[in-house]
């Protein structure tokens, strides 16, 4: 490992003049430097920003977008897009709320109260099902990803509204005598001082990172995102890869839905509206190319942190919500601009 790395630096110097190195470093680590800049700026602006407690709170906000963004990263690496994650988040939250209220089966005349873990598993399965619909539409029926997931976005949102008649489930705490307590655990509890939601994000990020960098599936994903026909002719099961990434994106959305409704201890059908756009933004800020084949878990997490820490920082120093929108938009455009700077030159020369 170290031997190859050393060989690389030697070649790197010979290929590009030394003076460019600082610029390159800034360009490639831009999400990281942006994050540092944001933290320094807001720490100077407000005494409340640079505290352990504030970072933990901000991170638990980031967890929602982070989970969505990790699923989105997989889809974007494949060269697709998943617009349905916000709605899937909403639908899964409502579904979890529905299960927590107890499932009344009329012809048996009984009401079931599934335990917390059953709720979690069933909700993830629902997310996987929505994702699979997306994946099958895109991979097997050749529906453009944008259109397929736009359709699912509407359908999922509609079902969530139908399930609750537009209302919100509020009693998610469960009852000890029914054995279904603990739903707020995901959103409120802490392990060693770290919110559970952040731990969930870290675990998913590590698994995701391992999957895309160290497994055959990860290699298939990068290859089919970079050039699908070449991957196909090299024996990569491109359709299976495609269905899998949408499925995993759905599961990530379901996890985010569970975390969000747990944090709010309520499940509303409109939860997560436009979150898919924030997730895409996080992936793009993290340096992934929307054309597929380029992007990392590390970058995506940094992207999610940039968005989360920026918007929370603006709230803390009392900037109006309207300005927050302007700032977030500017950061996204800047990120894409830098992406094209990084990939634009290397793509051209043959």
The sign one gets for the Cα dihedral 214, 216, 220, 221 is negative
Long-range CB contacts (< 8 A, 24+ apart) of 276-280?
276/68, 276/72, 276/82, 276/83, 276/84, 276/85, 276/86, 276/87, 276/153, 277/86, 278/65, 278/68, 278/69, 278/307, 279/65, 279/68, 279/69, 279/71, 279/72, 279/85, 279/86, 280/72, 280/76, 280/81
**Of the candidates 75, 62, 72, which has an alpha carbon nearest to the alpha carbon of residue 201?**
62
235 is an interface residue for other proteins by CB under 8 A: yes
24 is an interface residue for other proteins by CB under 8 A: no
Nearer to other proteins, 189 or 227 (CB): 227
Return the range that interacts with other proteins (CB under 8 A); candidates 232-240, 249-257, 302-310, 314-322. Answer: 232-240
Helix (H, G, I), strand (E, B) or coil at 348: helix
Asked if residues 226 and 241 have their Cβ atoms less than 8 Å apart, the reply is: no
Distance CA 283, CA 42 (A): 23
Nearer to other proteins, 171 or 215 (CB): 215
Nearer to other proteins, 190 or 214 (CB): 214
Q: Could you say which of 52, 105, 191, 216 contacts other proteins (CB under 8 A)? A: 216
At a CB cut-off of 8 Å and minimum separation 6, what does 315 contact? 324
- Which positions from 96 to 125 touch other proteins by CB under 8 A, shown as an x/- string? ------------------------------
Nearer to other proteins, 157 or 242 (CB): 242
Residue 246 beta carbon to other proteins: minimum distance, rounded to whole angstroms: 20
Q: How many residues make contact with other proteins (CB under 8 A)?
A: 37
225 is an interface residue for other proteins by CB under 8 A: yes
Q: Could you say which of 237, 270, 277, 316 contacts other proteins (CB under 8 A)? A: 237
222 is an interface residue for other proteins by CB under 8 A: yes
Nearer to other proteins, 8 or 170 (CB): 8
293 is an interface residue for other proteins by CB under 8 A: yes
Distance CA 350, CA 348 (A): 6
230 is an interface residue for other proteins by CB under 8 A: yes
- Which positions from 321 to 350 touch other proteins by CB under 8 A, shown as an x/- string? -------------------------xx-xx
Neighbours of 258 (CB within 10 A): 27
List, in sequence order, the alpha helices (H) in 46-144.
52-77, 85-101, 116-139
**Of the candidates 90, 78, 37, which has an alpha carbon nearest to the alpha carbon of residue 305?**
37
147 is an interface residue for other proteins by CB under 8 A: no
Dihedral angle over CA of 116, 64, 150, 164, nearest 10: 40
**Of the candidates 95, 91, 96, 97, which has an alpha carbon nearest to the alpha carbon of residue 158?**
91
Q: Could you say which of 14, 53, 165, 274 contacts other proteins (CB under 8 A)? A: 14
Nearer to other proteins, 16 or 162 (CB): 16
Nearer to other proteins, 17 or 47 (CB): 17
2 is an interface residue for other proteins by CB under 8 A: no
Binding site for other proteins (CB under 8 A): 1, 4, 7-8, 11, 14-17, 210, 214-216, 219-220, 222-223, 225-227, 229-237, 289, 292-294, 346-347, 349-350
């Amino acid at each position: 490992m170290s031997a190859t790395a050393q060989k690389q630096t030697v070649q790197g110097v010979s290929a590009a003049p030394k003076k460019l190195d600082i610029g390159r470093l800034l360009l490639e680590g831009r999400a990281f430097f942006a994050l540092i800049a944001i933290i320094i700026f807001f720490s100077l602006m407000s005494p409340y920003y640079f505290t352990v407690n504030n970072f933990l709170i901000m991170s638990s906000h980031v967890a929602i977008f982070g989970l969505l963004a990790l699923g989105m990263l997989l889809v974007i690496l494949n060269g697709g897009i998943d617009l349905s994650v916000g709605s899937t988040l909403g639908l899964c939250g409502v579904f979890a709320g529905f299960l927590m209220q107890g499932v009344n089966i009329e012809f048996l005349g009984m009401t079931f109260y599934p335990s917390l873990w059953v709720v979690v598993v069933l909700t993830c399965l629902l997310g996987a099902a929505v994702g699979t619909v997306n994946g099958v539409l895109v991979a097997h029926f050749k529906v453009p990803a944008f259109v397929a997931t736009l359709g699912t976005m509407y359908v999922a949102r509609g079902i969530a509204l139908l399930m609750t008649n537009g209302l919100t489930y509020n009693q998610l705490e469960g009852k000890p005598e029914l054995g279904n307590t603990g739903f707020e655990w995901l959103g409120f509890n802490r392990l060693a001082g770290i919110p559970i939601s952040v731990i969930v994000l870290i675990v998913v990020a590590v698994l995701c990172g391992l999957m895309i960098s160290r497994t055959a599936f990860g290699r298939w994903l990068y290859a089919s995102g970079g050039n699908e026909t070449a991957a196909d002719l090299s024996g990569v099961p491109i359709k299976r890869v495609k269905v899998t990434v949408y499925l995993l994106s759905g599961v990530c959305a379901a996890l985010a839905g569970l975390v969000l409704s747990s944090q709010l201890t309520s499940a509303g059908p409109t939860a997560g509206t436009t979150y898919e756009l924030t997730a895409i933004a996080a992936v793009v800020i993290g340096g992934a190319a929307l054309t597929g084949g380029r992007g990392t878990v590390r970058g995506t997490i940094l992207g999610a942190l940039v968005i989360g820490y920026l918007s929370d920082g603006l709230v803390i120093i009392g900037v109006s919500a309207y300005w927050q929108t302007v700032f977030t938009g500017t950061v996204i455009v800047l990120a894409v601009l830098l992406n094209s700077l990084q990939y634009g030159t290397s793509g051209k020369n043959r």
